[in-house]
Amino acid sequence: METRNKVRILSIDGGGIRGVIPAQVLVYMEQRIQAVKGPDARLADYVDMIVGTSTGAILGALLLVPDENGRPKYTAQDALDFYVKHGETIFNKSIKRKSMFKRLFKASKFGAKNLEKLFDEKLGSLKLSELLKPCIITSYNLTYRDALFFNSREDDEGAGDFLVKDVLRSTSAAPTYFDPAHIFSIGGARKDKMVNVDGGVFANNPSMCAYAEGRKTRFPDWQDKDDPNKKFPTAKNMLLLSLGTGGGRPELGFTSDAHKWGMLDWAKKTPEIMMDGGLDMVNHQVALLFDSLSTENDRKNFKRVDYPKLPPGQKPPYDSDMSNADRGNIERLVSSGLVTIKNANESSEKAHTLDAYVDLLMEAG
């Protein structure tokens, strides 16, 4: 078997409808690959693991769904269309569950039936273990107050298998937006019902999780050329691409009247503050980890792509609310995805551009 010296890992943040931004980046990457490798090439052919939270998990899982021939069923454009075509259905204002007052005591902002129907149409009875490549999806279990990492390749704790649609329902159950997911494992040791919410409550930017999972995963077609007996990859053996959803930006911050907020204000704003608050911190930690590598080439192994930061007080064209799926906002998110790509390709060094990184993915393959 031919071996490679690099393991290619894709990490995608959570962010609800703002997932349009990284989805646009995925489309660009796949088109660049097809320009070199031919129209049948897929982005999934050039990654070895995908790690995602919430909307990022949905995008990543769609890329790894197999068709009847064992090839990727969905293109990156299909993943983008999931939000562009169905965003208004997922976050349907006409089926809001309760008024803000009533939601203080019961129910979430949106019903999940439309989302569950879409998952059923796209995924059917597909099991997590049947995805084409290793896929790690974050969630949080309310019963045991435990962080969950649904893993398509490993079952270290006897958790068993899961339907992909159930896992995606779990990771996208953002508190106050959708009700918690109630799911069961397939063939697992634990027979009780799992009550799960969005992995964004602890890992909205899952890139550090991606690094950690990559460190303990055996990749059969990978080998360290300097140490053939090495069993697991380290940072110098990884190409880690982290895609953001335009969240956690200072320019999206709240005004100076926060000291006047009451319980209703905090109840409305806390979930998004909680999910977006750690994005830059995680990115900083992962960047430092890769910056500590000994050679300049190895330090280029990590790249973060997100909507560019703006000057203080200047807001981006899209609404930061991760449930604003109005047609106008979706169009602004699509345009912002193109801005993100342009910004990722504007570097003083060509070796640091998104294009250069996609080339590295192909060279490693």
Average pLDDT, the chain: 88
Note whether 161 and 185 are within 8 A (CB).
Answer: yes
Active site residues: 54, 198
User: If you classify domain 7-364 with CATH, what class do you get?
Assistant: alpha beta
Note whether 135 and 128 are within 8 A (CB).
Answer: yes
Beta bridge partner(s), residue 137: 52, 150
**pLDDT value at residue 87:** 96
Note whether 314 and 251 are within 8 A (CB).
Answer: yes
Give CA–CA dist 279/204, Å, rounded: 7
**pLDDT value at residue 271:** 63
Name which of 177, 147, 188 is nearest 53 in CA terms: 147
| pLDDT higher than threshold 60 for residue 249 | no
Average pLDDT rounded to a whole number, residues 114-140: 97
Give CA–CA dist 246/13, Å, rounded: 9
**What are the extents of the domains in the chain?**
7-364
96-115 pLDDT tens trace: 545 555 555 556 788 899 99
Dihedral angle sign, alpha carbons of residues 221, 222, 225, 230: negative
- Model-level pTM? 0.91
**pLDDT value at residue 140:** 96
